[in-house]
Amino acid sequence: MQALELIISDIRAETPLIRTLHLRAPGGNSLPPFSPGAHLRVSIPGLADARCYSLVTFATDAAGFDAPPSYRLGVRLEADSSGGSRYMHGLAVGDTISVTGPKNDFPLHAATAGEAETVLIAGGIGITPIASMASALQAAGRPWSMHYSGRSIDQLAFRDELATLAGSALHLHADDDPDTRLDIGSLLDHLSPSQHLYVCGPKGMIDAVIDGARTRGWPASHVHFELFAAAAPLAGDRPFELELRQSGQVLTVPADKTILEVLEEAGCDPMYDCKRGECGVCTATVLEGEPEHRDYFLSDAEKASGKLIQICISRAKSARLVLDL
């Protein structure tokens, strides 16, 4: 990914909690191209890991993706922010930020003759990659529809731009309105497994779409998602002993840390990328013990075998876990 120093040229409040930042190259040149679903990794002062923010565009021509004059990021101020969203909301026009990218872990599928309507599902700030997908589908003349949900209508960002882009293809849903509240089961009941689903939003929404599609016969290749939230402790998590068979090291993984974090603290150099259990880069072989799978990468059969684990997010059900590391 390319490293860039970008200047904030404009900031707009989209909702009480969501703002968009427009970024330009210092010389005003066109920026590197990106594809719908792509994101930038933004360096946050004081934080070891960069934060990922999806690129938003409502351009309906190829130039908006191929030679963008600026980038646009949507950022929601999180109440439990670890520093990323607070930093982004504290920036001002004229400030410079360091980014790498664009990178796309959430690409659109290629067009096919006579393809069924693509269904886009967004929750809250998950609208950012979904909006760019809608723009690309509209530009290409491909059939699509969008379901966008939030706690209330006034918390749904980009409503005017989405309405202009989508027209009747846009369906807005509010949790506080029984008449419009999104019912994922009912939505899927009226769709076909031949359709591609794209979902980005809270973990609960993504899990509901994945599970609902699976039980209704959707092939995994037609269910696409992106979850930017990293691993977080769950109620009932307990520490466990971790043995690395190749090196002979024995470590303790506390309830509030991941295997990956403990390995890095111990001076190891494990391979990883997303830290969300989506990409599969951190897959390790389990030699002893029972893993507790929390990833989205392994198949049901692989999880049932107990022989593989995603060390960025999954844990151990057993008191001891031995990995081939």
Residue 156 lies in a domain: yes
Angle at 56 between CA 55 and CA 60, to 5 degrees: 120
Instruction: Specify the CATH number for the domain of residue 269.
Output: 3.10.20.30
pLDDT beyond 70 at 323: yes
299 pLDDT higher than 90:
no
Residue 233 is predicted with a pLDDT of 75
pLDDT band at 211; cut points 50, 70, 90: very high
Q: Please write the tens of the pLDDT for every residue from 112-167.
A: 999 999 999 999 999 999 999 999 999 999 999 999 999 999 999 999 999 999 99
Domain, as residue range, for 178? 118-226
pLDDT at 275 over 90: no
Does 31 have pLDDT greater than 70? yes
- Minimum mean pLDDT among 136-140, 189-193, 201-205, 296-300: which range? 296-300
Please check the confidence at residue 81 and state whether its pLDDT lies above 90: no
Domain end (from 170, 204, 226): 226
Q: Is residue 289 part of a domain?
A: yes
Q: Are 139 and 181 members of one domain?
A: yes
Quickly state the pLDDT bin for 63 (edges 50, 70, 90): confident
What's the CA gap between 325 and 323, in Å, rounded? 5
Q: Are residues 83 and 123 in the same domain?
A: no
Per DSSP (E only), the strands in 26-95 are: 39-42, 51-54, 71-76
Residues 138, 221: one domain? yes
pLDDT at 127: 97
Is residue 154 included in any domain, yes or no? yes
Looking at 226, 251, 282, the residue that finishes a domain is 226
SS (H, E, C) 215-228: HCCCCHHHEEEECC
What gap in Å lies between CA 164 and CA 251, rounded to an integer?
55
- Tokens 């990323």 belong to which residue? 84
State which of 103, 134, 149 marks the end of a domain.
103
175 and 212 assigned to the same domain? yes
Q: Is residue 109 part of a domain?
A: no
- 247: confidence class by pLDDT, cuts 50, 70, 90: very high
Residues forming a β-bridge with 41: 52, 100
Task: State the DSSP code for 67.
Answer: S
H/E segment holding residue 315: strand 315-316
How far apart, in whole angstroms, are the C-alpha atoms of residue 290 and residue 320?
8
Per-residue pLDDT at 62: 84
Same domain (yes/no): 144, 220 = yes
Is 108 inside any structural domain? Answer: no
276 pLDDT band (50/70/90 cuts)? Answer: confident
Domain count, the chain: 3
Q: Residue 230's pLDDT band (boundaries 50, 70, 90)?
A: low
According to the model, what pLDDT value does residue 16 have? 93
Percentage of residues of the chain with pLDDT beyond 90: 83
State residue 78's pLDDT score.
86
Contacts of residues 167-176 at CB distance under 8 Å and 24 or more positions apart, as own/partner, are: 169/134, 169/144, 169/145, 170/145, 170/146, 171/145, 171/146, 171/147, 172/148, 173/147, 173/148, 173/149, 174/149, 174/150, 175/149, 175/150, 175/151, 176/151, 176/152
Task: Assess whether 70 and 135 both reside in one domain.
Answer: no
Percentage of the chain exceeding pLDDT 70: 98
Mean pLDDT for the stretch of residues 52-72? 93
Q: Which two tokens stand for residue 128?
A: 């950012």
- Inform me whether the pLDDT recorded for 195 exceeds 90: yes
The pLDDT assigned to 277 comes to 86
205 and 254 fall within a common domain: no
Phi (first) and psi of residue 277, to 5 degrees: 75, 30
d(CA 238, CA 318): 10
Neighbours of 280 (CB within 10 A): 15
Q: What's the confidence (pLDDT) of residue 229?
A: 66
* Average pLDDT of the segment spanning 174-200: 97
Judgement on whether residues 192 and 275 belong to the same structural domain of the protein: no
Residue 56 near residue 131 (C-beta atoms within 8 A)? yes
pTM for the model stands at 0.85
Query: Mean pLDDT, to the nearest integer, of 94-116?
Result: 95
- Do 205 and 175 lie in one domain? The reply is yes
Q: Is residue 211 part of a domain?
A: yes
Token pair for 97: 């930020």
Q: Are residues 157 and 212 in the same domain?
A: yes
Beta carbons within 10 angstroms of residue 108's beta carbon: 22
Statement to judge: residues 262 and 216 lie in one domain: no
Sign (positive or negative) of CA dihedral 286, 289, 294, 300: positive
pLDDT attached to residue 213: 97
CATH code for the domain in which residue 93 is found: 2.40.30.10
